[in-house]
Structure formats: C-alpha cells, structure tokens
Amino acid sequence: MAKKADTITYGVFKDVFNRRLFKDDKAMLLKKVADYPDRYIGLFRPTKPKIKLIQNLTQSHEIRFGDAFEDILRLYFEKLEYTNLPTRFKYHNVSKGKDEELNVDQIFDSGGRIWFIEQKIRDDHDSTKKRGQINNFEKKLEVLIKEYGESLCGVFYFIDPSLQKNKHFYREELGKLSRDYGVDLKLYYGKELFTQLGNENVWDEILSHLGQWKSELPDFPEINFDLNPTETFNEIKDLNTAVFRKLFNNDEVYEEIVLTLFPEGKTIRLLQQYFDEKSAERTIYKSLKRTLDERFE
C-alpha cells in the first residue's frame, strides 16, 4: 500500500493554515460582537473587553486549526496518489423524518479499497463528549457502508499523540462496531496513521512545517484592525448593514469595542466614505453615514 509522497513545501503548508485560521476573522468577530454584545461588555464581567476580544479570536483559531489539518491531510493523500472522494453525503434521518447532509473528514480510494477517517486534534474528551463522538462515527459508518460496501476501512484518528485520555474506550467501542458491521476499523494517534500507510516521512514533514509555522505566530492575536486599514475595510465592508448599525448606534459598544478595534479611526473613515457612496442606493447607508458623521464631530 505504501507510496512515496512528494513533499509539500512549507509555503503551501503555511498558506493552508493561514487561510483557514485567519481568513475573515475580523469580519466574524465584528458579527459576534454585534449579535452578542453582552458577552464582551458589562459590569458583571471579570475581564475588560480587550481581553474578551483576544479570547474570542484565540478560541476561533483553535476551532479552525482542526479545519486546517483536514485540508493539509487531504493534500498529502493526494500526493500519495490516493483518489480523494466527495466528503458530503445525503442520508435519511429516520427519527426526524427528513433527508440530511453528513460530512466525512477524509475519504479516499487506495487502489480499490475505500478509507474513511474521522479526525480530531486531541483525545481529551469528557465522558459525554466521547460517547457522542462514537455515536457520530457509527452514523457515518452506516451511511458509508451503504455507499461503498463492507470492504472499506474506517479510522478514528487523533493528530496529537501526546493526549490519549480515552484510548481504551475508543479501542473497545471500535472493536464492537467492527464485529457488528463486519468492517475493518482502526484507532490511530499521530505518526501511527502514516506508519500504516507506509509513509512515516509525511508525519516528520508535518511536524517540521508545523513547528516553523508556530514559531512565526505572534504571542497574541492582533486586535488593532487599523494597522492595515485598506485590508480590513475590504474584508468587512460587505457585512450585513444590521451589523454596522448595532456596532455604531450603541454608545457602550462603540466606545468599548469599536474604538478598541479601530483606535486610529482609519478603517472607520473608509467605511464612512463607502457609506456615503452607497447612500443613493439605500436609506440605511445614509443613516450609517450620518451616525459616523456624528461620532467624528
């Protein structure tokens, strides 16, 4: 089964991770603030808004880190000359009485055998979460057996090998599923997957690229969105006008959040000009422009 993988350059690796983690994160943060301002401001908060904004970004990056690993592993499987298959499937949810969509993290054809992989960053789930993970895996297994038959191989894969909190539980549950469904199921951590695929060099390269990428990250996310006002403006200008209305009309949100994110007002000035240009199209743009005019007086 082993095939020599062509290397993925650090530049490609970096682009994948930066795009997944940081693309549109400014726009997403503004939308969250507009929708849930009480999570960021208020007397009964143990932190000031700036800390909460940083915390929000770090949590978002943590979640999207897993998405980046899905993308990069898919690239490596392609380099291994496996055929990546569609990851989305329609299935009928009997309990709800309707069709729903199911997403598989990885699925590829390795010379006639179908592999599907449910991947997580680390095995540190509590008892409720680990049971939910297995139930979700079984749901996907059942759908894929109907699609590809019982000759497929299923893998529950944790990327970080340093945490193996529920290894015994997952191994036992996968063993039960394997017997009941007649399908080969595996549990792997870190390098083990690529050892099975006969390409440990891929894992070594991932560790090297990941280490370099992390060394280039700042200690904290940057929340001064005015450092590159043109870039920020282009990212946020097409947000729903309701988002801007909530951000600019609320005195507390504007003073504690907006002025923290845009301390020099450069991006806000670009928005002010943009709203002025759009004011002939819709009344809301005229209202937003008027609000900012008043803010800048």
Domains delineated in the chain: 10-215 (3.40.91), 229-296 (no CATH)
Per-residue model confidence (pLDDT) at position 236: 97
pLDDT one-digit tens code per residue, 179-198: 999 999 999 999 999 999 99
Is pLDDT of 45 > 90?
Answer: no
Q: C-alpha distances in angstroms, 38 versus 16, 102, 296?
A: 34, 34, 25
Report d(CA 246, CA 254) in Å as an integer. 9
Residue 166, helix vs strand vs coil: coil
From 88-92, 112-116, 241-245, the region with the lowest mean pLDDT: 88-92
Structural contact between residues 188 and 117, judged by C-beta atoms closer than 8 angstroms: no
Structural contact between residues 57 and 223, judged by C-beta atoms closer than 8 angstroms: yes
